[in-house]
Chains A and B, each alone.
Chain A
Amino acid sequence: MHDEKYYKDIGFMCGLEIHQRLATKEKLFCRCNAMLEKDAQIAEINRRQRAVAGELGKVDTATEFESHRQRSFTYQVFRNTSCLVDADEEPPHELNNEALEVAMKITASFGAKIPDEIEPMRKEVVDGSDPSAFQRTMLIGYSGTLKVGKKEINVPSIFLEEESSGIVSVDANKGVYSLNRFGIPLVEVDTDPEISNPNEAKEAAERIGLMLRLTGNVQRGIGSIRQDVNVSIKEGTRVEIKGFQDLGTMPDIIENEVERQVNLVKIRDMLKKRKAGVSEPFDVTDIFAKTEIKLIRKNISESGKVYALRLKGFEQIIGYEINPGRRLGSEISDYAKLAGVGGIIHSDEDLDAYGFSNKEIMELRQRLGMKPGDAFLLVSGKKDICESAIKYAKTRAELALTGVPGEVRGADSKLLITRFQRPLPGGSRMYPETDTTPVLADRNYYNDLLLDRIDADAILKKLKKEIKNNQLAEQMLWSPQISLYDRIIYVTHADPAVVASILLEKLKELKRSGVDVDSISEEAFVEIFQSYKTGIITKAAMEVIIKSVPKRAAEVAEIIKRHNLKRISGKELENIAANAKGESRQDKITEIMSKYRLTVDGSELLGILDKK
């Protein structure tokens, strides 16, 4: 990792957009269940979407790019978790008030301000993930701050919006999405690009995640929180990275992205010097009529096409490495792939390995009018696919002349790099949601929330006092179990140290040994601790119950009965103690505890023995 000065010198700018699904009963603009994970699919709907003019009468580049792909979309429809609103067949219902309240609570936790009136907007979405082709979203907070260590980072905006639908599969021609997730309330927290290095990005993301969890009203589990990172350097353009699998890889991926941008700027400068340029596409199918290149031969035999570009001054630059194992050619190839081709072939590659004949290369160079220092690239495939592919490749090759293109890129957690997904959408794609009315914000309510706002430091202090173990307390603060912990303590008044040790240590241990602890419901956990606190079971018995994976609270009593876990105490235990054969006190304890390990509380037994 580079030092602070390096990032300062290259003009590193980095900001976050954290998206968190809320744990409300219902969706944001309809009354579908927003919590159910499994639901029966009842139908599929096939739709097409097209680009419509944006606010200034222009179709946004990102929009047009997607629309040119002429994709069709299939939406899976579910009984309880999707309805006509989700399928874009019914106008939105009232804004979910529970979601607004949770969002306000989150907004308050960043000390942000709220508008007097919240204006629901439509944000155009053309990747098909929204059946309506727009996402309903609203600005609910601005001018907040995030504390990361000693630094304060501005939180310029917090949004409440609809979650997109879940991706089932997406390829060049078709996207399949499931509507069960679509429309679940989502809060987006943005930071200003004030993050000064990749590690700080991770810390800030962790901190925001913590704040969101501490509100207690957010969904947990895979995909319920997503981090988008905006990264740029002095001479580049903003790039948005999506799809981080975990925060651990975030710094490395950002670092590689920075390296890529730095190299793209270098490439731009080299190309400028060489007065580089990109030609219009050439149809060169005839040159390869009798080719030995397997892939091209196959494509031509299926009446496919081969198109080429002359890349003036690009020699040795398409092959220039910009990230480990990635070249400018890889970037161009990623664009072409969106059209449905497998990739591109370019002249900085080993053409012999592909099986090019000298004659083919000669003819190609001639046809393209290539001069020394030039490069070429080829795509082949079905005519329409090939036409789009060469157009996209041309777009990307031309962008190399300007340096870093504004893009949305996906994080690759294995290779720790980013890959092109689509051009960065412009700003001209928001307009008012006229099917619903603006919402007047309740200032008094919000002021109360501000007074009572979540303070992570204060919570840590409280945990330390309760758990009496600083390490466990710190762990609890950062753990997703904290809301369960709070609930158990609140309902059962069980010993916080016991609750913390079971939730953080015992569960981890059991999970590692293969127990499906994630399937145990919160209600069941509360019931287990309730049984413990009221003396129905011993502390040791809790493990047996957890191993039996109760999904409902009522199952806990059944398990206690089935495994004879009812605690033995009082008179009954006194009788057992009186009848123990052991000579010494220690012998008696060993004898009784080996027989009644799960049902006798050791300290009670000691008390009885000592009383005698």
Chain B
Amino acid sequence: MYSKEIEQVLKKGKITPGNYVHVANPNFSSDGVLIPRPNFGDESILVLKLSNGYNVGIRYDAKTKIIKLNKVAAKFSFPENKLKFDKSKPKVTLITTGGTIGSKVDYRTGGVHMLLKPEELLYDVPELSRIANVEVNNLFSIASEDMGYKQWQDLAKGVESAFENGSRGVVIFTGTDTMHYISSALSFMLERLNGPVVITGAQRSSDRGSSDAFMNMICAFHAAAESDVAEVAVCMHTGSSDDTCSLMRGTKVRKMHTSRRDAFKPINARPIAKISVEGRIDYISEYKKIDAGKGRKVDLMTGFEPKVALVKFYPNSDPEILDYYVEKEYKGIIIEGTGLGHMAVNPTEAKYSWIAPLKKAVGKGVVVGITSQCLFGRVHTKVYSNLRIISNTGAIYCEDMLPEVALVKLGFLLGNYKTEEVKRMLNRNIVGEITARTEVDWFV
């Protein structure tokens, strides 16, 4: 936003950002296109795009003149590729939800534009039309950190109708920050899934020719159109190179880096498959296969209890946090303990012991699950006596389930089952979120 003073001058001169103008003061004199002021920085600086493509910032003051020129700015539009139907190719529905992968940049202003039409996508990634007939469902446009269980429910419904409408597979574009929560939620909500649901995103925006979005999309579409995986999976770069993506179980994957292309790693698992940018799919671990004898129809189970919390134990952490949640009528709490699933049991200052608050919470009917902040590996109830003490409070140790997955699972269970059933189901495998064995090479 420009300052009020500038806005008034612009209004008076009938100038709006995007217009060709002449700006002159004792220090500067040039034609250019007026650029909207970004929402930060000094509001009294006019930003002008010069004919050489560069922007410059010129401080507006009493000596500065700005005149609208007659030249009309060229209209900006994103190029498109026509959709062609190829009956030899399967139908894949693309559901977009927002995030880096679905956004494009208005190159003049740097402003972000959400991808709305499949034609624009096919212009950027024409390879997709050689893989599948793409149908696009722009469900919403929300950054992944702003998404919650209501969006997960809508997404599940979107997947249901995609399969009802004859799609072989579904690709979902989301922001990456909470992608592993989304993939967990869908894993639980889509019962009797009999086709690939592949979630992908981008760590680098697609305005740059080097964006990871392109290969992620290509591999995700190969997975949706060609793989026999009947699971919800995340498909993202395997390494920093643009050669292979990993297809990872939706409940066994986590964003492990803030910015790298290969931020998503399988945890306590190997990828289901590796997919080359040319479309070769190498299956490398066990997965649920498409049952050719059955249709694609899914049963939805979208109930969700939002009053579930994820609490991290750390040295000097105050266990009264549990009382807070109990008071706020939370129905479930997942604790990220240390190591095998520890919290303070015998600290020198009694107020730091988690035992009493834990007992109290469980006693009030709150379902408490224990996971490990190590992420890799399995929690255990017996190795140390402290573990037994915690376990005896009625808290449930959640095997090798990731803390975030446990949180989503708990919300899902509480939204669909009675408490006693929830307690029974929390540490039992439903969709691959818990494994019975830990293989030797499941570690970084």
- CB proximity of B188 to chain A, nearest CB, Å: 32
Which B residues touch A63, using CB under 8 A? 209
Per-residue interface assignment for chain B, residues 54 to 86, with 1 indicating a CB less than 8 Å from any chain A CB and 0 otherwise: 111111000000000000001111110000000
Per-residue interface assignment for chain A, residues 452 to 495, with 1 indicating a CB less than 8 Å from any chain B CB and 0 otherwise: 00000000000000000000000000000000000000000000
**The one of B243, B258, B260 that contacts A46, using a Cβ cutoff of 8 Å:** B243
**The one of A116, A118, A132 that contacts B210, using a Cβ cutoff of 8 Å:** A132
Q: 4 closest pairs, A vs B, by CB?
A: A117-B57, A430-B53, A133-B209, A432-B110
Per-residue interface assignment for chain B, residues 21 to 58, with 1 indicating a CB less than 8 Å from any chain A CB and 0 otherwise: 00000011000000100101110010100111111111
CA distance A334 to B40 in the complex (A): 48
Contact status A47-B242, CB under 8 Å = yes
Which A residues touch B52, using CB under 8 A? 139, 157, 427
Per-residue interface assignment for chain A, residues 65 to 92, with 1 indicating a CB less than 8 Å from any chain B CB and 0 otherwise: 0010000100000000000100111110
Contact status A121-B56, CB under 8 Å = no
Contact status A115-B28, CB under 8 Å = yes
CA distance A73 to B40 in the complex (A): 36
Per-residue interface assignment for chain A, residues 422 to 434, with 1 indicating a CB less than 8 Å from any chain B CB and 0 otherwise: 0000011111111
Which B residues touch A428, using CB under 8 A? 53, 107
CA distance A133 to B74 in the complex (A): 25
CA distance A50 to B128 in the complex (A): 14
Contact status A116-B45, CB under 8 Å = yes
Which A residues touch B77, using CB under 8 A? 57
CA distance A440 to B56 in the complex (A): 11
Contact status A47-B57, CB under 8 Å = no
CA distance A428 to B106 in the complex (A): 12
| Interface members, chain A 99-139 (any B CB < 8 Å) | 113, 115-119, 121-124, 126, 130-134, 137-139
**The one of B28, B57, B239, B261 that contacts A119, using a Cβ cutoff of 8 Å:** B57
> For the complex, is B215 an interface residue (Cβ under 8 Å from A)?
yes
Number of A-B contacts (CB under 8 A): 154
Which B residues touch A89, using CB under 8 A? 203, 240, 259-261
**The one of B79, B105, B210 that contacts A59, using a Cβ cutoff of 8 Å:** B79
Which B residues touch A430, using CB under 8 A? 53-54, 107
Contact status A57-B76, CB under 8 Å = yes
Which B residues touch A142, using CB under 8 A? 28, 56
| Interface members, chain B 113-166 (any A CB < 8 Å) | 123-124
Task: Given the known inter-chain contacts A52-B208, A138-B54, please indicate yes or no for A437 contacting B40, CB distance below 8 A.
Answer: yes
B74 and chain A: residue at smallest CB distance: A56
> For the complex, is A53 an interface residue (Cβ under 8 Å from B)?
yes
> For the complex, is B277 an interface residue (Cβ under 8 Å from A)?
yes
> For the complex, is B382 an interface residue (Cβ under 8 Å from A)?
no
Contact status A87-B240, CB under 8 Å = yes
- CB proximity of B66 to chain A, nearest CB, Å: 14
Most buried by B among A55, A118, A123, A126: A55
- CB proximity of B210 to chain A, nearest CB, Å: 4
> For the complex, is B16 an interface residue (Cβ under 8 Å from A)?
no
Contact status B79-A58, CB under 8 Å = yes
Contact status A131-B110, CB under 8 Å = no
> For the complex, is B204 an interface residue (Cβ under 8 Å from A)?
yes
- Residues of B bordering A, CB below 8 Å: 27-28, 35, 38, 40-42, 45, 47, 50-59, 74-79, 104-105, 107-110, 123-124, 203-204, 206-211, 214-215, 239-243, 258-261, 277
Contact status B108-A48, CB under 8 Å = no
Which A residues touch B57, using CB under 8 A? 115-119, 438, 440
B53 and chain A: residue at smallest CB distance: A430
Which B residues touch A84, using CB under 8 A? 259-260
CA distance A52 to B203 in the complex (A): 17
Contact status A117-B241, CB under 8 Å = no
- CB proximity of B356 to chain A, nearest CB, Å: 44
Contact status B277-A48, CB under 8 Å = yes
Contact status B108-A53, CB under 8 Å = no
Contact status B56-A117, CB under 8 Å = yes
Per-residue interface assignment for chain A, residues 37 to 62, with 1 indicating a CB less than 8 Å from any chain B CB and 0 otherwise: 00000000111111111111111000
A441 and chain B: residue at smallest CB distance: B57
Which B residues touch A57, using CB under 8 A? 76-79
CA distance A425 to B259 in the complex (A): 31
- CB proximity of B239 to chain A, nearest CB, Å: 8
- CB proximity of B25 to chain A, nearest CB, Å: 9
CA distance A134 to B210 in the complex (A): 9
**The one of B55, B107, B258, B259 that contacts A53, using a Cβ cutoff of 8 Å:** B107
Which B residues touch A433, using CB under 8 A? 110
Contact status A429-B53, CB under 8 Å = yes
Contact status A119-B241, CB under 8 Å = no
| Interface members, chain A 545-600 (any B CB < 8 Å) | none
Most buried by A among B56, B203, B210: B210
Which A residues touch B277, using CB under 8 A? 48
**The one of B27, B59, B211, B260 that contacts A117, using a Cβ cutoff of 8 Å:** B59
Contact status B240-A45, CB under 8 Å = yes
CA distance A433 to B52 in the complex (A): 16
**The one of B108, B215, B259 that contacts A91, using a Cβ cutoff of 8 Å:** B259
Task: Given the known inter-chain contacts A53-B78, A122-B208, A123-B53, please indicate yes or no for A117 contacting B105, CB distance below 8 A.
Answer: no
Contact status B209-A50, CB under 8 Å = yes
- CB proximity of B31 to chain A, nearest CB, Å: 13
- Not counting A118-B57, A440-B57, a sample of 13 additional A-B residue pairs whose C-beta atoms are within 8 angstroms of each other reads A48-B277, A50-B124, A53-B107, A55-B107, A56-B75, A57-B76, A118-B56, A126-B209, A139-B52, A139-B54, A428-B53, A431-B207, A440-B41
Which B residues touch A124, using CB under 8 A? 208-209
| Interface members, chain A 259-314 (any B CB < 8 Å) | none
Contact status B107-A431, CB under 8 Å = yes
Contact status A45-B208, CB under 8 Å = no
Q: What are 28 pairs between A and B in contact, CB < 8 Å? A: A45-B241, A47-B210, A47-B241, A48-B215, A50-B209, A55-B53, A67-B209, A84-B260, A87-B240, A89-B203, A89-B259, A115-B28, A115-B56, A116-B27, A116-B45, A116-B57, A117-B47, A122-B208, A124-B208, A133-B208, A134-B209, A142-B28, A159-B54, A427-B53, A430-B54, A431-B108, A437-B40, A438-B57
